[in-house]
């Protein structure tokens, strides 16, 4: 299976800054055949960057989109509008869930909307600090995974990427703590169990699982050697070009 390094730029960079970053990153990295490098700029930058990007080296992801293809939905951008512009879309990020109130019933339609428009969804799931403290991690992961995938058929599941992002480990969270590799392994094991229950054993080796939560150049090697982890979703550290490039190079070495 391929490995993945995804940079989530969140609400950062003007279109000009994003373009300069992309230009510099393309100069730094070769065409890795077995490592997918993906960046997720703001929606406004996606179209111009899609004309600039060398898709052999880097793919673009949306950070979010709306599940209906068109209609009276002021302020939204649809997956159908992003079709051909991005290859991936981050869906159900914890900032979407907890700041913008997205629920599993929205997220499942977004996952389906992305697949319908030939965009690979990166479905983010993860427990909050208090859910973990109350011993609810397994239930939350199960609910978010089953909820997010409920419109995905047996034929479509191989078009989905799962990202495990414990909310308490995300760098912008006040109480941020680093996830221990054993904690990550436990949840990736659980994700595989649930996928197996729903879609059968063969699928488990075909659905990539990423880890996200304060990943940087110093800890990426440890996370990428956790059993069941196929890549990383990087927020803060992806904004620093040199560090993101280091993460990519480490990922390439670790997952040879
Ligand atoms: C994220 O927001 O997806 C993320 C993983 O952020 P950070 O790497 O900054 O914790």
Question: For residue 76, which phi and psi values (nearest 5 degrees)?
Answer: -95, 160
For residue 140, the surrounding DSSP H or E stretch is helix 137-148
Q: What is the pLDDT of residues 24-55, one digit of tens each?
A: 999 999 999 899 999 999 999 999 999 999 99
Nearest-CA residue for ligand 1 atom 6 is: 235
Residue with tokens 């993906």: 38
Task: Give 249's pLDDT tier (boundaries 50, 70, 90).
Answer: very high
Entry field: residues in the chain: 256
From the list 95, 102, 127, 165, the catalytic residue is 165
Look up residue 89 and give its two tokens: 């879309």
Query: How are beta strands 161-164 and 231-234 bridged, if at all?
Result: unpaired
Ligand 1 centre to CA of 234 (Å) is 5
CA distance 80 to 65: 9
How many CA within 13 A on the CB side of residue 90? 34
Cα distances from 138 to residues 101, 193, 194, 242, in angstroms, run 21, 11, 10, 36
165 is catalytic: yes
- For the Cβ of 236 lying below 6 angstroms from any atom of ligand 1, the answer is yes
- For the Cβ of 87 lying below 6 angstroms from any atom of ligand 1, the answer is no
- For the Cβ of 92 lying below 6 angstroms from any atom of ligand 1, the answer is no
How many other C-beta atoms lie within 10 A of the C-beta of residue 31? 11
The CATH class for the domain spanning 3-254 reads alpha beta
- Inform me whether the pLDDT recorded for 104 exceeds 90: yes
Instruction: Round to the nearest angstrom and report the end-to-end CA distance of the chain.
Output: 11
Q: Domain-by-domain residue ranges, the chain?
A: 3-254
- Rounded to two decimals, what is the model's pTM? 0.97
- Inform me whether the pLDDT recorded for 23 exceeds 90: yes
Look up residue 229 and give its two tokens: 């982890």
- For the Cβ of 250 lying below 6 angstroms from any atom of ligand 1, the answer is no
Ligand 1 centre to CA of 134 (Å) is 23
pLDDT at 113: 98
Q: What is the pLDDT of residues 194-247, one digit of tens each?
A: 999 999 998 999 999 999 999 999 999 999 999 999 999 999 999 999 999 999
């Amino acid at each position: 299976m391929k490995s993945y390094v995804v940079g989530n730029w969140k609400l950062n960079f003007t279109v000009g800054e994003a373009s300069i970053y992309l230009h510099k990153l393309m100069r730094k990295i070769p065409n890795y055949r077995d490592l997918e490098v993906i960046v997720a700029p703001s929606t406004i930058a996606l179209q111009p960057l899609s004309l600039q990007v060398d898709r052999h080296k880097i793919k673009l992801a949306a950070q979010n989109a709306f599940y209906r293809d068109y209609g009276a939905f002021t302020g939204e951008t649809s997956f159908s509008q992003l079709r051909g512009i991005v290859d991936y879309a981050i869906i159900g990020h914890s900032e979407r869930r907890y700041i913008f109130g997205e629920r599993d019933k929205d997220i499942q339609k977004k996952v389906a909307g992305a697949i319908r428009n030939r965009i690979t969804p990166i479905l983010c799931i993860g427990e909050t600090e208090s859910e973990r403290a109350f011993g609810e991690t397994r239930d939350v992961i199960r609910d978010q995974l089953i909820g997010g995938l409920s419109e995905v058929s047996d034929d479509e599941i191989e078009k989905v990427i799962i990202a495990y992002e414990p909310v308490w480990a995300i760098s912008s969270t006040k109480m941020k703590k680093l996830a221990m590799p054993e904690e990550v392994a436990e949840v990736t094991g659980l994700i595989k169990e649930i996928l197996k229950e729903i879609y059968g054993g063969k699928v488990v080796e075909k659905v990539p699982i990423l880890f996200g939560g304060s990943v940087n150049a110093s800890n990426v090697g440890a996370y990428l050697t956790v059993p069941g982890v196929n890549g990383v979703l990087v927020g803060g550290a992806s904004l620093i070009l040199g560090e993101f490039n280091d993460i990519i190079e480490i990922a390439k070495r670790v997952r040879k």
